[in-house]
Structure 1
């Protein structure tokens, strides 16, 4: 039951984090702002998730897990409720910051709690349940949320998110047993990890990957409209989410089989950039084929984090939690940067929304170059070590 409650909360987080991309046009019309400006509600959420949440985490050290989780979800619900009734753009931005802090505080503690609720041999399955909750929030929650918005307005979608999260809070307070887990690493601990050059390069790859993938995702609805992909937009969001879940659950087997997470990531990045580049081409393809690049994009974007976590855990076995938390912050920071840049491009009319895949592909190419350097350096190091041992 406890895992189900945590998974339900993660469903709300996943739905909230990704559904806003599909609501950008509706928010722009409702608040009478440009779509580039409306997209910054995503920036507010992701930037707070990446930066403000780790700051709050440091002040929660020593508090009970139940209290941390309840406080985090209360912030998340409060942010969403303010969003529902926000009639002003800046109030909506502020409310998304509050929701982002709550989500960013809750997620890592929920994952740690899930692992402590079961025997060690079942820890992987417990974490899978938690991640599955967020994945389901994306695959099912996002398309459903878009349909709700189409019928009754985007505010009702966020109200549904708040109701689901409130139910999770009640369950956590009444059913979650007392457990001890380490608080999430502070922002200072994450930044200190960047003094390691190898860690810094790996995290930079994550940053540019997120700029390309998640930054573009925020503008999927405007991009689809600009490219004249006139099917129901929720279908494309559904395809992206399904691809994401398949990729996230499959990549671990590929990594284990190959034993080379760096090369796996390089292949993922190449496929990601290819899929993004093909988006404009797919607009003129038959309807069924138009989903293929989006399906691949979702699969590659979601599967990119696991190889990075493997590499970081190998580089920092004694500080693995901090390294993985840093990578997560870089992922959300990249999403925020990509959204800000995309919004600026559209708002200033430097280019149309249909051109955003080209800019995303450039960020993806930077990630490919950096990852290729990492792989080549690693292979040369291994070759040198082999030569030294055979002499």
Structure 2
């Protein structure tokens, strides 16, 4: 395993901690600042807003700088944002700090994807991308539960101090192990957006939003689904979430291997179709515990199994504006998360049982699968010489 690629994984681990740990510590934060849990939930939205604003903004500012220098600045900003989050004296301050902490997230994934592609051995680009993304999956598996435990044991501020310190560690690791890389060719402001004149990147961006929305429509309400419909005990949710984390780690690594070996659009559409089928089965058999658990794990695995092939395909279809293309992909990820959570919540608020989130999510995944099939057909018709086939 290349240490240079490992530094990218360290970065996504820290970003995963910062983004997702808030979901498990909302009651502690709300109590500390004297606000309601729904108000504290806006701190999750603040981070997502930072991602959506920061992804294109950071690319526009930093596009002419060497890639390593950009990553070092992004990690520094991430560390500072988390240190000040831990020290926030009131709700307004932590809201601002959460927004600032989210600014480097999308740009890091964007620049990191380009660096991972450059560092990858021949024929192993998707696996290199999967290694970078692995940090995010490990954060879901280990970091977030550990953060929730520490917050319960001591203070929620401790976990953000830890993530800030992790940022410093990541900075030192990059200084030591990441080789110097020249800046990408500066094609000017217009050049960064020129790739959007083609249909292919739009199809990938839309498919990403729908695919993420499909899984998050279900996953955002996994607790009430498993305890209220499937009949699992509240105490069993801890090991169920660990299993979901393991599924994400496994799905990410498997997706990278398959994408290196087979046609990427076919791999992507197949994963989305399998996830849609699993969620449809879950909808009809939500009261059967072995089935609902198995289908949930398949859906969780698919969430990150599509990450590597999607990022590589978008990089291949945004030449001249690779950083902006990767940034748009991160915006699509987060918009999909918001779409899924909103759709599932709307169904529940309308009086539907929680398992209806699965069938809504399955419909989004079918749309995503269809968009990828259109993408593949369009690529074949255009005969664009991108190395999508291995």
Give the TM-score normalised by the residue count of structure 2: 0.77
Moved more, 100-109 or 20-29: 20-29
Question: What is aligned with 1:242?
Answer: 246
Question: What is aligned with 1:20?
Answer: 22
CA shift, 1:100, in A, is 1.0
Question: What is aligned with 1:11?
Answer: 13
> RMSD across aligned C-alpha pairs, in angstroms?
4.1
The answer as to whether partners of 1:239 and 1:294 remain within 8 angstroms in 2 is no
Question: What is aligned with 2:349?
Answer: 350
Question: What is aligned with 1:99?
Answer: 101
- Aligned pair count? 378
Question: Where do residues 361-376 of structure 1 align in structure 2 (5 Å cutoff)?
Answer: 361-369=359-367, 371-372=369-370, 375=373
Indicate whether 1:261 and 2:265 are aligned: yes
CA shift, 1:184, in A, is 11
Deviations 1:109-156 (A, max 9, x none): 334345555766776665454333333223222232232233234332
The answer as to whether partners of 2:248 and 2:300 remain within 8 angstroms in 1 is yes
Question: Where do residues 291-306 of structure 1 align in structure 2 (5 Å cutoff)?
Answer: 291-306=293-308
Question: Where do residues 75-114 of structure 1 align in structure 2 (5 Å cutoff)?
Answer: 75-86=77-88, 88-114=90-116
Question: Where do residues 266-281 of structure 1 align in structure 2 (5 Å cutoff)?
Answer: 266-276=269-279
**Aligned counterparts of 1:258 and 1:93: Cα–Cα separation in 2:** 44
**Aligned counterparts of 1:380 and 1:181: Cα–Cα separation in 2:** 31
SS of aligned partner of 2:349? coil
**Aligned counterparts of 2:366 and 2:63: Cα–Cα separation in 1:** 38
Question: What is aligned with 1:203?
Answer: 205
Question: Where do residues 310-389 of structure 1 align in structure 2 (5 Å cutoff)?
Answer: 312=314, 322-339=324-341, 345=346, 350=349, 355=353, 358-359=356-357, 361-369=359-367, 371-372=369-370, 375=373
Gap runs ≥5 in structure 2: 384-390
Question: What is aligned with 2:41?
Answer: 39
Moved more, 149-158 or 161-170: 149-158
SS of aligned partner of 1:180? coil
CA shift, 1:299, in A, is 0.8
CA shift, 1:301, in A, is 1.4
The answer as to whether partners of 2:131 and 2:253 remain within 8 angstroms in 1 is no
CA shift, 1:367, in A, is 4.1
Gap runs ≥5 in structure 1: 386-391
Deviations 1:246-271 (A, max 9, x none): 12222244456653624x44443343
**Aligned counterparts of 1:226 and 1:87: Cα–Cα separation in 2:** 37
Question: What is aligned with 1:74?
Answer: 76
**Aligned counterparts of 2:276 and 2:306: Cα–Cα separation in 1:** 12
CA shift, 1:55, in A, is 0.7
Question: What is aligned with 2:159?
Answer: 157
Question: Where do residues 181-192 of structure 1 align in structure 2 (5 Å cutoff)?
Answer: 181-182=183-184
SS of aligned partner of 1:86? coil
CA shift, 1:277, in A, is 5.4
**Aligned counterparts of 2:259 and 2:123: Cα–Cα separation in 1:** 20
Question: What is aligned with 1:389?
Answer: none
Question: What is aligned with 2:169?
Answer: 167
SS of aligned partner of 2:211? helix
**Aligned counterparts of 2:188 and 2:287: Cα–Cα separation in 1:** 48
SS of aligned partner of 1:206? helix
Match of 1:60 among 57, 62, 65: 62
**Aligned counterparts of 1:125 and 1:113: Cα–Cα separation in 2:** 13
CA shift, 1:365, in A, is 0.9
